[in-house]
Amino acid sequence: MLAMLRLWHRRYFSDPQAVILTFLLLIGTLVLLFFGRMLAPLLTAIIIAYLLEGPIAWMEDKGVRRIVGVSFVLLLFVVLALVGSFAIFPLLWAQIADLFKELPHYIARGQQVLLALPERYPAISEDQVREIVNTVRTQVGTLGQRMLAISLASVANLITLLVYLVLVPFLVFFLLKDKKIILEWVSLRLPRERSAAQYLWHDLDVQMGNYVRGKFWEILIVGVVTYLCFALLGVDYALLLATLTGLSVLIPYVGAVVVTIPVALIGYFQWGMGSELFWLLVIYGVIQGLDGNVLNPLLFAKVVNLHPVAIIAAILVFGGLWGFWGIFFAIPLATLVNAVIICWPRTPDPV
């Protein structure tokens, strides 16, 4: 056993490149684990910088100075973000408030449907139904308490949001303007023999940029198309459901299935078991099918080359470690792990 461990260590860790790569990966993981919350504004700025780097690079290729391109693109992004926020967020908040007002009515109707199940299906006992009803009531009460806690903490959240709104644009501007200077500063403080780490960084940098820009367009396209379809059908809370559908693309495979539940419930409470509910589910299924089979491969053909099991495992692991950001970056992080495994320096076994 000891000989096998020595052979394994000699094969994978005798190369100095492997030691350097291990050290850098360990430092990066520890920084995210222990300082992730503190660095949240910086991480947000990095994501936006990746999003805006594409049009800035395109303008540079056309002969525009980088400082001019950065200023123009960032200003346009801030203006569009503010216009979108003031146009969409009030409507979205109003729909959320209306939904909570109607929630007791929906729960009462749901209880009636559940209590009628034992008459239609004798295999289902009344005790089982009442247990389900009590569980739903308990969860709804817990949800109300959580909403109250959120409202009480709204002042602190508002202050944090204001800090973000001021701090993040400045960070984005300097990250984009001084990109080369920052990378050179980091490079000078790394060991000279770092070809494996440099290869991984280049691969991750390209894939992260493609992933962030691709996810942005996927969320926007899926959300807009869903809203237009639901609005034409006259679905209640069309904007809220479209927002959930757009955000569901952050969690491949699982997100679409989870969002199906509120879409089906809202349709059922609005129309009952009629043709409208059928067409709602058909259209929702078509949108998800086109996203998974046409839009997603088109946007991420050069990014995602992982098995579905690996993607779901990455979502569970990184989501458990870093919450929302872990879910958002699960695919590029899984791709990074795969790249590390493929390019890890190895010493040949002695003959």
Q: How confident is the model at residue 351 (pLDDT cuts 50, 70, 90)?
A: very low
Over residues 259-277, the mean pLDDT reads 88
Over residues 178-195, the mean pLDDT reads 77
Highest mean pLDDT of the ranges 135-144, 175-184, 297-306: 175-184
At 180, list the tokens.
């080369």
Quick check: helix, strand or coil at residue 303? coil
pLDDT at 279: 92
The larger pLDDT score, comparing residue 190 to residue 9, is at 190
Q: Is the pLDDT of residue 347 over 80?
A: no
CA dist., res. 39 & res. 45, Å (int): 10
Signed CA dihedral, 86, 89, 95, 100: sign only:
negative
Least confident range of 1-10, 99-108, 120-129, 181-190: 1-10
pLDDT at 226: 95
pLDDT at 185: 84
Helix 66-115 vs helix 154-177: angle between axes, to the nearest 10 degrees? 150
Residue 126 Cα distances to 105, 106, 140, 153, 312, angstroms: 22, 20, 21, 41, 37
pLDDT at 163: 72
* Residues 35-59 pLDDT 10s: 777 777 888 888 889 889 889 988 9
Q: How confident is the model at residue 168 (pLDDT cuts 50, 70, 90)?
A: confident
Q: How confident is the model at residue 303 (pLDDT cuts 50, 70, 90)?
A: low
Signed CA dihedral, 6, 7, 10, 13: sign only:
negative
pLDDT at 224: 93
Q: Is the pLDDT of residue 14 over 60?
A: no
CA dist., res. 310 & res. 308, Å (int): 5
Residue 347 Cα distances to 13, 79, 226, 311, 341, angstroms: 8, 54, 53, 30, 14
pLDDT at 146: 58
At 54, list the tokens.
């594409």
Signed CA dihedral, 251, 256, 262, 266: sign only:
positive
Percent above pLDDT 90 for the chain: 17
What is 132-192 written as a DSSP string? Answer: HHHHHHHHHHHHHHHHHHHHHTHHHHHHHHHHHHHHHHHHHHHHHHTHHHHHHHHHHTS-S
Domain boundaries in the chain?
194-346
pLDDT at 143: 60
- The mean predicted confidence, pLDDT, of the chain is 78
Q: How confident is the model at residue 152 (pLDDT cuts 50, 70, 90)?
A: very low
* Residues 205-251 pLDDT 10s: 777 788 888 888 889 999 999 999 999 999 989 999 999 999 888 88
The larger pLDDT score, comparing residue 86 to residue 222, is at 222
Q: Cα–Cα–Cα angle for 70, 302, 324, nearest 5°?
A: 70
Q: Is the pLDDT of residue 8 over 60?
A: no
| Residues 249 and 255: beta-carbon distance below 8 Å | yes
pLDDT at 280: 92
Tell me how crowded residue 26 is: count the other CB atoms within 10 A of its CB.
10
Over residues 293-320, the mean pLDDT reads 73
Q: Cα–Cα–Cα angle for 56, 59, 64, nearest 5°?
A: 115
